[in-house]
Structure 1
Amino acid sequence: DPGEEKVVVLQRGVCFFSEKVEQAQLAGYDAVIIANHHIGSGDGANPDGSLCGSQGHEFTPTIAGACTGHRAFHLIFGQTPTYAGDPLQDDPEVGALGADVRAAAQFDGWGYVRLLDRRTMEEIDAYAIDEALVDDFAQGYGDLSVHEVAVDPRKRGLAYLSYYSGGLRVIRYGKQGIEEVGHYIDDDGNNFWGVEVHRLRGRGRLSGKTLVLASDRDSGLWIFRYTGH
Structure 2
Amino acid sequence: MTTEEAISLFTSASEDEDCSKKLVQNLNYLPLAISLASSYIKTTKISIRDYLRNISAFQMQAQQEDKKGQNLQASYDMTIQNVENNLSPHCKRVLLLIPYLSHTSISVDVLKTFLQEKVIERELEITNLMSALQNYSLASARRSGNIRLLEMHGLSVWVLKNKKSSEQEKEDLLWLMKHYCREMAIDVRSAKNANRNIDFLEHACLLMNKYLKMLNNSSDEVLAYEGGTKDTRGTVKLID
Give the TM-score category using the shorter length.
under 0.3
Q: Which has the higher contact order (CA 8 A, sep 6+)?
A: 2
Q: TM-score, normalised by structure 2?
A: 0.23
Structure in which a larger fraction of residues adopt strand = 1
Structure in which a larger fraction of residues adopt helix = 2
